[in-house]
Structures are given as C-alpha cells and as structure tokens.
A and B are shown apart, each in its own frame.
Chain A
C-alpha cells in the first residue's frame, strides 16, 4: 500500500544523525534554526528561572514559619515575594509549555519539518534571553518591591527600587511571547501534513493554537501599560498618579486586561498536555474531542472579558463588578466541560499508570480544587471578604502550580524519551509525582483556611493565631521542594545511564511517535500522510501492535 510506507516513515531503521548529533559546536546551537534545539535551549533557561523562583519561594515559606518578620526584614521580604512572582510568571509559567514542549512537539505532531518561521523562532529565544538577563541584572542590583502587579502610584512615585529595569525586562520578554504565538498560528495554518485536517489535530495543538491567539492579542497591552508606567516614572506625565492628574484604577484595568488572559496563557497549554496524557494512557479516543477543542477557544475568548474580577473592591462601579462576576461564572463552564470529558475518557479504557499519567491524574484533582475555588472568588459577595487574602494565594497556586506546573512536568516525562531517546527510572518518577502531589496539597490547602480567617497576602509578619496553619504550609513546601528536585536528578541521570527508549515506547499513534527518538533534524525521513483520526489506538492507524508485543517478549527474555 502506498500509504503504509508513509505511515511507518522513520519508524524502521534509525537515521545516522539525529538533531542532537547534527553538529556539536556552540555555534551549531546558537545559530540553529531547528525548533528542537531551540526548545532544548528554552528548556534549560526556563528550568534555571524555575529554580531561582523556587529559591525565593523557599525564603518566603521559611520567613512565614514564625509570626514575626525575623528571618527576613520586611523590605527584603517584599522584594522576595515580588521577585518570586516576576520570575515564575513572566519567565517560567508563560514560556514553559509553549516555548519548550510546544516548540519541540508542535511541528512534529502536525507532520511538519519545522515551524513556519524558524529564524523568528530563534529570534524569540534571543529576545527571551535579553529580557531575562536584564531582569536578573535588575534583581542583582537590588531588585524590585512593588509586587508582580506593579500597582500605581506605588510603582510610579513611591518605590525606590529597580522598577524600570524589571519593567523593561518584562516588556522585552513580551515580544518573545508574541513571536512564538505568531509562529504557532502560521505553522498550524500552513504546515500540516497531507491528511492532517483540523479535526485530526491532537488536542495539544488545539490548545497551542488557542494560547497563541491570546498571546498575540493580549501581550501588546502589557507592553503599552509598561510604556505608560515608564512615561510617568521617568518623565512625570500624569497617567496613573492622582497627584499629577492620573488615575490609579486605570492602571489596574490595563494591567488585568493582559494579566487575566495571561492566566489562560499559563493554563491552556497545561490543559492541552493533559488531554494528550489522559487519552494516550487510557488508549482510548478522547471523549468529546470537539467539545474539548472548542472549550479551549471559548476559554481564550471569554478570558478577555473577565479582567474586572480582580478589582471587585478597588473602586470600580458595582455594576461593572456584577457584570464581571457574571462573566466569570460563564468562563467556568468550559473548564467544567473539559473536566467531565477527561473523566469520561477513562471509562472503558485500558488505563496504565506510568509516571506521566500519575501527573495527569494529579492535575485533575488539583485543577478541580483550583477551578472550584475560582467560583468562590468569582462570587462577588464572597470575594469582598476573600480578596487580597491567602485564599487568593492558595487559589492561584492550585491553578498555576497544581495545574500548569504539574501538566508541564507530566509533559516533560511524557515526551522525555522522544526528546532525548532515553528512558528515566519509572520508580523514581512515580515517587516524585506522588511527593509533588502530597507536598503541594499540604502547602496550599491550609492557605484556603488562613484566607477565610482573614490573613492578608504579602504580609511579612502576621498575628500569632495564624501560625499553626503556616507551619503546616511550610512543612508541605519542603516535601514539595524534594518532589520537584528529584526529577532534575533522575532525568539527568537517564541522559547518561538511561536505557534507550525506542521510537515508540508506549505504542501510541501520534505522529511524534512515528519518527525516531531523538528525531532527525528534519523530523521525518519522508513527509507522513495522515489517514487516521486523532487518538486511534488500533491497527487501522498503522501501528504494528503484534510486532511491539514480540519486541517486548524478546527484551523480557534476554
């Protein structure tokens, strides 16, 4: 059969060079146009930022072990939580899944040789580096203490820290997001392999498409906001500071008009990864494919209409508050639809509990809590009490860490054999996935109770009656920390000592599993022709399952 050749393209006989062995010089990396190499460089940088942000988080939790501000002085504490937020949000959460996993996998998953605009892709990496270096430089010079929200007039008139340097870093970094989003949209439109119709796209690709729309439409707003902030801080034009004729609430509108969609920039890719994991490790076509795909788009669209729910007590009109509360409730529905569809996918599947699947199931539990507590905060009468307390801190960590970070780790474990050609230790993988889940809950669940008790966020010292729950939280954070450091060790170990993963260790139908591990520079030896639907696990998708069973038997006996 003519297509049979194409289907198995690359699966037989590994090519002599793969993307890792295609050149070893520094120049061959720094001037590469290969999306996979760019993704690896993103992976390393993003991990460094995650590590730095994590150090700040440890400092926060240690300080909060006791009610007084004894370990850190209040001024230092203010910088520490600000820098934790800035690094984690702008330099880890936003780029992580799109720039690492999306960059590496999106072209392969649609059967393309590369992204549509490889040079733009490299440019986005360099922009990210420049923005990141500038921010790190500002942090080393003395840092910034405005909170990652940069609320005016504190940030424009009162703070004596490096607001402009960090602002510039974020401003520059934004262009990296925009270019990545643009690249993904063009790629999905123009580079799909023959037969790869829109409704055959893996749901990860749909999620990347939705998130790219948000990146392109949202990021310019934060860029403009930072420019206005600079105009006021440097030139004294009254935009946000009322003492020179500005309006501080205007800043909040502009800031959240980007930063709320940014929440979806962070969580949508995670949802895409989870859709992949749930379906593939249940070996069953995802339940309600179209509903999951369109719920991503619905979240992307509605996400632009709910920014005012960050400002319920800020002085905006109560009518605006009511409308934003209503829209917030509406945006909860597509997330609920995803949740139900993922659960239904398990029904009558063949569920295996490999490390990536453990992360996916952990995601479902944590995102469920994160999403439901979002309803608490969207309900305007309740949020007057809850806003600016630890309830908010717990909620967004459940969504950002319990959702995005867990999904990212799940994705890393899922595609690690493809990216490196090596298999990590399943045992340590499972231990770490469970430690992360337990440690995370122990860290952040007590904060919901603290929040309802009224403990305000961003407090270096707090009344004594809050100490018990803070001790729980800090204890949980240490477990979480161990769980997060472990993958660095066993994944690193697998690079050298890991057994060869094979091209398709789990016999999955996605195109990324139909090329060699690690893939060659051009991804496929021949352009694949897609004749199957997404998530078909039977013989009709061209997978030689009998051959795989024989292979397993052979390795088991030797």
Chain B
C-alpha cells in the first residue's frame, strides 16, 4: 500500500479520524479565507500606492474605532468556533463507546513497546486488533516519558512513569498502520515504533489462537498474589487477615486515617502496592511494607488486573476515565457505600500467635 507519493491526508482508520480531518479542513478554509484578502490587500495597496515622488507626505489617517472593533470581533468569533469544534472532537476522542472494550496493557521502555492482551498474548512493537471493536490501552513506562501515537487513528497519549494513562480507539479499516513513539525518549527514540495491524474479527481470532497465550494478566496476577509476592497471607480473608479484604472493593469509596477519601481505581491499587503508608484506610494500621522495587511495571499491571477481577471487573466497565488524566483522578463514587469492606474490625489486632 505504500507509495512514494505522499497524500495530504494519512489513512483514516478510526471512528473519530474523519472528525479530526473535518476540523483540519475547516481550519485550512479559515486560513485561506484570512490569507487571501490580506495578501491581496498587501499587493494591491503596495502597487497602487507605491512611491510616486520621493519624500511624499500622504494625508494623515487616524485609526478607525469602527474598523478596529470589526476586526477584533470577527477573529474572536472565528477563533471561538475553532475552540468549540476542537472541544467537541476532543470530547469524542476521549469518550469511548459503552460496549465492552478489549483491554490491552502497554509498558513503554527505552526503546520498545511491550504489549499484553487481556487474553494473555504478548507482543513487542506490534499490536493486533480486531476491526470495529473498542480497544482500550492502559499504559505506563518503566523509565522515561514516551508517547503512544498512531497517526492513522488520529490519536496519541503520553506514557508517564509512575502513573497510568489511557487511550482508546475503534479501528474502521483493515490494514497495517504506523505506531510511533512521539515523545523524545533518548538514544533510539526514532527506532521505538512498530505497526498496528487491524484485522477482520475472524482473522483476529485465528491470530489469537495461533499465538501461545501463556497466562492471562489475571492469572499472572493471581500467581503473584498467592505465591510469588505472598499478598494472600494478609489479604486472603480468614482469621489471619490483617489487610483489607479485596473482593468487591473496586469502584468503592474508602476513607483514610486522618481524613480524606478516594475511589478505588487502577491508580489507587497501584499506589497501595507501592506506597501503602501514604493512604492507610480507616480501621487498619500502617503495617504493609512497600513493594516498590520488587515488582516490575508489567507485574503491577497484572496485579491490578487480578484485584479488579476480584470485584468482577474485567476492565471494560471501568468508569470512562477521561483519557490521559489519571493520578489526580477523583471521580466521585456513583453511589453511597455504607457496606464497605474497609472497616474490618479485627484488622489492627496484633497477631501474637507466632
């Protein structure tokens, strides 16, 4: 499909690509509508009133309030239409459809993209997605800033260390599209890219079954939780339980010791693993050690997926978090949570059995 000839518009391959192109076309029209009269006026005035006589003194002309008002208001009104058009397209870019999304986890690393499907398949610098299905990416990075950019989908988002950012799209045209890292990330920045393959659902299913899937993120998370990291020894319930019970916790509101509340979301779970003492829930003591440095970003993604699955959340029903915003995300809880598990009465009990 690739030719040496460069068309003005790249492939349109996502649901909102045409809106971005339409806005672009509108701006080109506005630009031409401004440029032509001004350039014509400059040439016309320049030639018509060119110097006929040295040191001529043309009649003085004082400004005109009426003209100034007109040419202040017209650009203002036009710029507001551009703002509103942009805001509308932006809203569409960041509001995924309601249907269940296909989750993909992305970890950036100097200089590669590591991706994992919720069904377990791993990819490097390549992403296979089915046509017409909403795909939601949960992204973070092990080192510096990166930016996950797919020009054919007209979307991109920075990938920021220490937090999750999100991106969604729904592909509309089968094909092979560029994937770029668009935020400068060091030595091999320009090599940090690859391809996004959009496939018919049937082909995608074949691709999925043709790939050894290994463990899904939820399974990996369970393995980490129960065996490798031993989270279960405090969080699994039963008489030994010192930590919070995690079943059903996702999306609930929790109260912190010393005031403040938060809604349990991906970011909250991530932070609870890395900086547990920064947000101790009422009824508990700050006894959980930090796991910072002991879990990789990929393991964290799996743990979050597993803990979400304990609440029956598979990712698709996450609140439509607006795009790149995340760390300071304080989406209000949808309804009251009087039955929250957080106030576990026997939590602070020191265990003296050992």
Chain A residues at the B interface, C-beta cutoff of 8 Å: 69, 74-75, 78, 145-147, 149, 151, 153-154, 157-159, 241-243, 247-249, 282-285, 287-291, 313-318, 321-322, 325-326, 329-330, 332-333, 336-337, 339-341, 343-344, 346-353, 361, 364-365, 368-369, 372-373, 375-376, 378-385, 387-389, 449-450, 452-454, 456-469, 507, 536-539, 545, 548-549, 552
Contacts and interface: CB of A to CB of B under 8 A. Distances in A.
Contact of A379 (B23, B72, B94): B23
The 4 closest A-B pairs by CB, nearest first: A454-B151, A242-B162, A381-B89, A379-B86
B4 A468 contact: yes
A325 B161 contact: no
B80 A329 contact: yes
Given A74-B189, A353-B50, A368-B34, 20 more contacts: A75-B187, A151-B183, A248-B160, A326-B83, A329-B83, A336-B75, A346-B42, A350-B49, A361-B46, A372-B30, A372-B31, A379-B86, A380-B86, A381-B19, A381-B20, A388-B147, A388-B149, A453-B10, A456-B180, A467-B4
Contacts of A332: 75, 79
30 contacts: A78-B187, A146-B184, A153-B145, A242-B161, A243-B162, A249-B160, A283-B55, A284-B60, A285-B60, A288-B64, A291-B63, A315-B326, A318-B94, A318-B323, A325-B86, A339-B38, A346-B46, A346-B49, A349-B58, A351-B49, A364-B42, A369-B35, A373-B31, A381-B88, A382-B27, A384-B93, A385-B151, A388-B183, A389-B151, A545-B55
Nearest to B62: A285
Given A315-B165, A318-B322, A461 B191 contact: yes
B110 A158 contact: yes
Contacts of A538: 57, 60
Contact of A458 (B76, B178, B184): B184
Interface in B256-293: none
Contacts of B184: 78, 146-147, 149, 151, 154, 457-458
Given A467-B4, A538-B57, A368 B35 contact: yes
Contacts of A347: 41, 45, 49, 61
A537 B60 CA distance: 9
A456 B42 contact: no
B186 A154 contact: yes
A80 B264 CA distance: 46
Contact of B190 (A365, A382, A458, A549): A458
Contacts of A343: 38, 41-42, 45
Given A318-B94, A382-B23, A385-B154, A368 B6 contact: no
Contacts of B79: 329-330, 332-333, 375
B60 A313 contact: no
Nearest to B16: A381
Interface in B142-182: 143-145, 147, 149, 151-152, 154-158, 160-163, 165, 178, 180-182
Interface size class of B (residues with CB under 8 A): 35 or more
B294 interface: no
Contacts of A465: 2-4, 6
Interface centre among A154, A282, A288, A539 (most CB of B within 10 A): A154
B20 A316 contact: no
A316 B324 contact: yes
Contact of A361 (B24, B30, B42, B110): B42
Contacts of B68: 288, 291, 337, 341
B338 interface: no
B186 A145 contact: yes
Interface string B310-350: 00000000000011111110000000000000000000000
A372 B55 CA distance: 36
B87 interface: yes
A379 B45 contact: no
B71 A340 contact: yes
B232 interface: no
Contacts of B87: 322, 325, 380-381
Given A349-B58, A381-B87, A507-B55, A287 B63 contact: yes
Contact of A316 (B38, B143, B325): B325
Given A158-B144, A465-B2, A74 B8 contact: no
Nearest to B57: A538
Nearest to B35: A368
Contacts of B4: 464-465, 467-468
Given A313-B156, A347-B45, A351-B51, A333 B76 contact: yes
B110 A454 contact: no
A422 to B, nearest CB: 21
B57 A545 contact: yes
B39 interface: yes
B10 A313 contact: no
A333 B75 contact: yes
Contact of B90 (A157, A284, A380, A387): A380
Contacts of A291: 63, 68
Nearest to B46: A351
A256 to B, nearest CB: 14
B212 interface: no
B57 A385 contact: no
A75 B184 CA distance: 12
Given A283-B57, A326-B83, A376-B27, A314 B34 contact: no
Contacts of A459: 189-190
Contact of A384 (B82, B155, B326): B155
Nearest to B148: A313
A159 B185 CA distance: 10
B49 A384 contact: no
Given A290-B63, A381-B85, A248 B145 contact: yes
Contacts of A158: 110, 143-144, 186
A450 B8 CA distance: 9
A228 B225 CA distance: 38
Interface in B7-45: 8-10, 19-20, 23-24, 27, 30-31, 34-35, 38-39, 41-42, 45
